[in-house]
Amino acid sequence: MKLASLGALVFVLAACGGSDKKVEDPKADPQSGDGDDDDRITIGDRDPQTRKPIELPDADDDDDDNGDVQISGLRGRLDAYDIERGVKPHANTLSNCYYGKVGRQRYIGGDIEFKFLIARSGEVKVVQLNKSDLGAWHIEKCLLETARQMTFAKPKGGEAVFSLPLEFSATRSARWIEDDVGSQQVKPFVRELRGCAREAKTRNPRQVRVTVYVGPRGVVKSVGFASAAKREITDEWADCAETKIRAWTLADPLGRIAKLAFRYN
């Protein structure tokens, strides 16, 4: 396994001998990452352990309209080498989160971005799924659990924040549904998700981007979540929301796998 330099810290997970064809996306996705693909790492195994996520500190008292995470009072810094050294021992586990769980759903693919808050000790204080159009919570959750176990060098100057983008290439295509069409399809069902905060005994997350794959007869095949808002998505809320969305019946894509995204809350 070869480790490249970390300009943009982009992981590319491509199956050996497999296609690097990406899921069809006829329109630009504002949530997808725009990292530099020239700096890549191939990654490969360690068992993840879980840890309940906590909320990122607020920059101010108001929620930003764009939902971007704003961290105030953080002057710490981690060099690219220190980040690389913290991530590399978990490379196989990150890879296995995708290849060990994607199974026959080879249309699952996309870009995700984690945002890390690193404590002065070098431990991960918070990791948040900032962006994702992967559409697979069972994979995203595994990646999160792995990211929470990483440790880094002590940041210089205090707590530090950095982003970690990853790319997963699908080997089958899925047809993207226009955002307005997808939103109309899910409109009758979205209210069901409000019950998840009560059932999971947590707060409703803010500005969640939900990505859904739909198969024959409108059956939901997979669903995933991301949010850059300061109120973090908890694992418990996402577990509940995944169960409810998997029970929906949406428009039949007529022999294709369709992929759509919508905003919640």
Segment 252-263, tens digit of pLDDT: 999 999 999 999
198 pLDDT higher than 90: yes
Arithmetic mean of pLDDT, 202-213: 95
Predicted confidence at residue 74, as pLDDT, reads: 52
129 pLDDT higher than 80: yes
Predicted confidence at residue 76, as pLDDT, reads: 86
User: What is the rounded average pLDDT for all residues in the chain?
Assistant: 79
Q: Write out the DSSP string of the chain.
A: --B---SS-EEEE--TT---PPPP-SS--TTS----TTSEE-------------PPPPSSSS--TT------S---B--HHHHHHHHGGGHHHHHHHHHTT-TT-TT--EEEEEEEEE-TTSBEEEEEEEEE----HHHHHHHHHHHTT-B-PPPBTS-EEEEEEEEE--SS--EEPPHHHHHHHHTTTGGGGGHHHHHHTSPPPSSEEEEEEE-GGGBEEEEEEE--SSSPPPHHHHHHHHHHHHT-B----TTS-EEEEEEE-
69 pLDDT higher than 50: no
% of the chain surpassing 90 pLDDT: 69
Arithmetic mean of pLDDT, 242-250: 98
Arithmetic mean of pLDDT, 127-135: 96
104 pLDDT higher than 80: yes
Predicted confidence at residue 241, as pLDDT, reads: 98
